Structure 1
Amino acid sequence: MALEPVFAPDVPLQVRRLYERKPELFVPAGQPRPKRETSWSTAPGATFGSLLVWLAICVGGWILGLIVFAITLPTAVAAWSALALAVVAVVLTGGVAVSSAVEDRAHKAVRLQHGKYLLPEDFDEEAGRVLGRAQRAVRTVLGATVTQRGLLDEMQNDLVLPEQLWDIGQVLHEQSVLRARQRDIARGMATAELEAVLGPQRRALTRSADAIKRKVELLERYADRVRSADAALRAEAALEDGDRYIELLARTEPAGDTSVVQGFADEAAALRDTLSRSIESARAAGRTLALPD
């Protein structure tokens, strides 16, 4: 599955949805914050030409209206009508001028939120693989039936998981930047002095990469336990048809033979215990996500 962008928890929902519609507007964190864009800044010549055309239309329309009013209306009424038409033209012209100087809402949202989102381009191949694992784990938890029914800690999932994913994304992005910088510095050079500097940096980067992988593994264990709880929940749902099977067997089994019915009851009780243990195990795994590293 393709890598998805990572958003800070406080990024508005409309900005996240904007990425689904217009991903090309978003700028990677490794690039400078986009500048304020208006029609004048992006296409001043075309904007100026459009305003001239608009002014020509307004003036021509006003003159035409003035002639029509003079022919069809009394003098006083024609004068007031011409004045009203001029006011409308001025207001509309002002609106067009203001709109050409106002920044597009979508560009403004992307500019203001720059640095609070990380795009797939912000990660190298190694970091992308780790982030993909974390995103799959979070999707598993949030999409599980036990989560949607509120059987787990709903507040934990809604608050902690986005924070965890954002923290992981930030660390992985920084690792990607540092790995690229190390490659650039070491390219074409191999000296003892350089190795004395890069050696400790590589070891620190390796330790950081191992630590973030352990954090992702914690997320994956949580997702596995949620998946197990989901499976137990689906199995319990299948027991809702148990009475129909018992009735069916009662019509075919010898009278007085209750072994099958008892078997159904025992399996139901065992499954409910399994479901309770699975949900509690998932809750315990989720609580560990909020503990400090």
Structure 2
Amino acid sequence: MTTSPEVAMEPVFAPDVPAGVRRLYERRPELFVAADAPRPKRETSWSAAPGNTFGTLLVWVAVCVGGWILALLVMAATLPTAVAAWGAVALAGVAVLATGGILAKSMVEDRGHKAVRKQHRKYLLPEDFDSEAGWLLGRAQRAVKTVLEATVTRRGLLDDVKNELVLPEQLWDIAQVLREQTVLRARQKDIARGAKSAELDAVLGPQRRALALSAEAIKRKVDLLDQYADRVRSADAALRAEAALEDGDRYIELLARTEPAGDTAVVEGFTDEATALKDTLTRSINAARDAGRTLALPE
């Protein structure tokens, strides 16, 4: 099999995963675990590092007690007895409240850990895929990103295709199938390492054909995404050309000011280009819409 060029892939998330969890990966990728790993357990400071947490709490209590005694001595020496007594009570109350807050915080699960734990297996990481699956998923992600970030998409010229809904669903479906293909390929390789036998070949033969058919079907889906992205790029290029043509009046004015009796063919060329470009843009938008409709999810 020929080696495919490397296409970088990123984690892929189910469409209903909150945006905050997606952003969390950018800041704390170490929290996320592979799909075949067990669901992360609830983790607090006490469960993660009980010794450090207990030591920190002891130091805090010692500081509070020492500070309270020192403040009590200072107040007793400088303030009236009644005022010093009330001051000591107030400081003790603040220390108790602060200690209680620290203790409560050490028993609460970190929000990042909690989010990753709840969303486990609703995201897939690069390490969840073998090289073949990762390459296809990288292509699909690149195509989806091209479409969603295109100017024609942001301006709503492709709204009837519903890219914001369809493409994330398509990407997640593709990722799930590619993940399963990765698992089955690895299992087939592991089983095939043993002694060969007619019985083994009889079982693995149909399984390999089924895996090959699935791989080919996913490749066709990714090819469709690529084709859609190409159509959208063409529409974007035509839109940029149309924007550039809007400066035509300034060029005509420039010619009029510098070349009063200039060649009128240049001005006529602007008009011809505008007409042709309008037709090109219309065709490009329609081609992108047609390509996008082939990806529509079933009702």
Q: Match for residue 82 of structure 1?
A: 88
Residue type of the alignment partner of 2:240: R
- The residue type paired with residue 167 of structure 2 is L
Q: Distance in 2 between matches of 1:56 and 1:149?
A: 62
* Mapped pair 1:65 → 2:71: yes
2:202 maps to 1:174: no
Pick from 263, 277, 284 the counterpart of residue 278 of structure 1: 284
Q: Give the TM-score normalised by structure 2.
A: 0.91
Partner of 2:191: 185
What is the CA deviation profile of residues 158-214 of structure 1, one whole-angstrom value per residue up to 9, with x for unaligned ones? 111111111111110111011111111111321111111111111111111111111
Q: Which moved further from structure 2: 17-26 or 63-72? A: 63-72
Give 1:244-259 correspondences, 5 Å limit.
244-247=250-253, 252=259, 258-259=264-265
Q: Decide which moves more: 43-52 or 71-80.
A: 71-80
Give the corresponding residue for 1:236: 242
Could you tell which deviates more after superposition, 66-75 or 107-116?
66-75
- Give me the whole-angstrom Cα distance separating, in 1, the residues matched to 2:123 and 2:188: 24
1:267 positional shift: 2.2
1:40 Cα offset (Å): 0.8
User: Which stretch of the first structure deviates more once superposed, 63-72 or 192-201?
Assistant: 63-72
Matched, 1:18 2:24: yes
Q: CA deviation at 1:78?
A: 2.2
Q: Distance in 1 between matches of 2:164 and 2:180?
A: 25
Counterpart for residue 99 of structure 1: 105
Q: CA deviation at 1:258?
A: 4.6
Structure 1 residues 259 and 51 mapped into 2: Cα distance closer, same or farther (>3 Å)? Answer: closer
Corresponding residue of 1:43: 49
Cα distance per residue 1:16-65 (max 9 Å; x no partner) = 11111121111111211111111111111111111111111122222222
Question: Deviation at 1:69?
Answer: 2.6
Which residue does the alignment assign to 1:213? 219
Q: Partner amino acid for 1:197?
A: V
Task: Please give the TM-score of this superposition, normalised by the length of structure 1.
Answer: 0.93
> CA 1:249 to 1:57, structure 2 compared with 1: closer, same or farther past 3 Å?
closer
Q: Please tell me whether the aligned partners of residues 8 and 135 of structure 2 are also in contact (alpha carbons under 8 angstroms).
A: no
Q: Residues 66 and 82 of structure 1 are in contact (CA less than 8 Å); yes or no, is this contact kept in structure 2?
A: yes
> Is the contact between residue 62 and residue 82 of structure 1 (CA under 8 Å) also seen in structure 2?
yes
> Counterpart of 1:132?
138
Aligned counterparts of 1:142 and 1:78: Cα–Cα separation in 2: 67
Which piece of structure 1 moves more, 111-120 or 232-241?
Answer: 232-241
What is the distance in 2 between the residues matched to 1:78 and 1:36? Answer: 45
Separation in 1, partners of 2:80, 2:251: 92
CA RMSD of aligned residues (A): 2.0
Identity within the alignment, %: 76
Paired amino acid for 1:263: G
TM superposition shift of 1:77: 2.2
Specify the alignment match of 2:3 in structure 1: none
Structure 1 counterpart of 2:153: 147
Say which of 189, 195, 203 aligns to 2:209.
203
Task: Report how far residue 244 of structure 1 moved.
Answer: 3.6
The amino acid of 1:193's aligned partner reads E
